[in-house]
Amino acid sequence: RLVSKDGRCNIEFGNVEQSRFVFLIDIWTTILDLRWRYKMTIFISAFLGSWFLFGLLWYVVAYIHKDLPEFNPSINHTPCVENINGLTSAFLFSLETQVTIGYGFRCVTEQCATAIFLLIFQSILGVIINSFMCGAILAKISRSKNRAKTITFSKNAVISKRGGKLCLLIRVANLRKSLLIGSHIYGKLLKTTITPEGETIILDQVNIEFIVDAGNENLFFISPLTIYHIIDKNSPFFHMAAETILQQDFELVVFLDGTVEATSATCQVRTSYIPEEVLWGYRFAPIVSKTKEGKYRVDFQNFSKTVAVETPHCAFCLYNEKAKAKEK
């Protein structure tokens, strides 16, 4: 399958001619797309690396100015940085400077301009590193992709009659009380198609329209919804039947787009169904009930539960029955 049940895409890029350097141009997106273990490695390495690098520079300043104890400075000697006695103390001063701890034991004097310039430069660079890395962590945590994990689809799709028409039905639920604003749901049927010219198109996409009773735009998504696709003459499922659907080669990918109410960020939830996950002649069990206190209760134990119902073996059969009924 191209799309897993949790929405991840199973695709691999090979022989990409562009250099990987192009990913560094958009470094922000690259950092955000990294997994947490790589992101935390970069986060820790950025701070430790900058502290150690500037620690070396502070040690070099002290060495050039002959502030270190091995040079036996005189009593009247004023060092560039007070109390730097070696590489360790230089590293500690670098850390104190960049994270603005300022214990007061080590401090820059007005003796040399080099130390003052290095102090300013490290302070500015430290603010940039803090802003970028902390911003990347915050953006990673607040990404709308995490909100999508609280939207769930039914394990199976079902085909049964609804409103006198043969429909393919899927159940979707919002596990949070906060809404997705401006929600829109649609589908794509992926299959291999051979054109009249003999060309084989893998993953050919066919639009699948899903609706609910109130339409497919701006869903009031506070409770689980059953969305359905009407299997009419324009539907790719029209020529399928209960006996032949398992022999078909297709993948139905369902998308739900919406805006997160809390952050105003857009998110997309995806899932997919293969022929083995489409149950012909079933409907979903009831899931919403009303308690004695007047509250509406959603029983997620029945969320993916299905019940067998009498269903025509194919959409073509249903249309023939209606045509015969009209003739009589």
User: Looking at the predicted structure, is the pLDDT value of residue 43 above 60?
Assistant: yes
Across the chain, what does the average pLDDT equal?
85
For 283, residues 6+ apart whose C-beta sits below 8 A from its C-beta are: 158, 160, 169, 306, 307, 309
CATH number of this structure's domain 146-327: 2.60.40.1400
User: How do residues 46-55 score in pLDDT, each as one tens digit?
Assistant: 999 999 999 9
Strand ranges (E), 209-313? 225-230, 250-260, 266-273, 278-280, 282-284, 288-290, 296-298, 306-308
User: Looking at the predicted structure, is the pLDDT value of residue 216 above 60?
Assistant: no
Structure tokens at 275: 């022929």
Rounded average pLDDT over 266-271: 88
pLDDT given for residue 58 in this prediction: 94
305 exposure class (CB count in 10 Å sphere: 0-12, 13-18, 19+): middle
Cα 61 from Cα 66, distance rounded (Å): 8
Cα 251 from Cα 157, distance rounded (Å): 12
0.85 surpassed by pTM? no
Structurally, at CATH architecture level, domain 18-142 sits in Orthogonal Bundle (1.10)
User: How do residues 188-200 score in pLDDT, each as one tens digit?
Assistant: 999 888 888 888 8
Instruction: Give domain limits for the chain.
Output: 18-142, 146-327
What three-state secondary structure class fits 162?
Answer: strand
pLDDT given for residue 20 in this prediction: 66
Cα 258 from Cα 182, distance rounded (Å): 6
If we measure between CA atoms, which residue out of 221, 214, 191 comes closest to residue 203?
A: 191
Rounded average pLDDT over 143-147: 69
For 176, residues 6+ apart whose C-beta sits below 8 A from its C-beta are: 147, 150
Rounded average pLDDT over 226-233: 89
User: How do residues 70-110 score in pLDDT, each as one tens digit?
Assistant: 888 888 888 999 989 999 999 999 999 998 888 888 889 88
User: Looking at the predicted structure, is the pLDDT value of residue 19 above 70?
Assistant: no
Q: What element of type H or E holds 202?
A: strand 200-208
Q: What is the DSSP letter of 291?
A: -
117 pLDDT tier (thresholds 50, 70, 90): very high
State phi, psi for 32 to the nearest 5 degrees. Answer: -65, -35
Cα 8 from Cα 4, distance rounded (Å): 5
90 exposure class (CB count in 10 Å sphere: 0-12, 13-18, 19+): buried
124 pLDDT tier (thresholds 50, 70, 90): very high
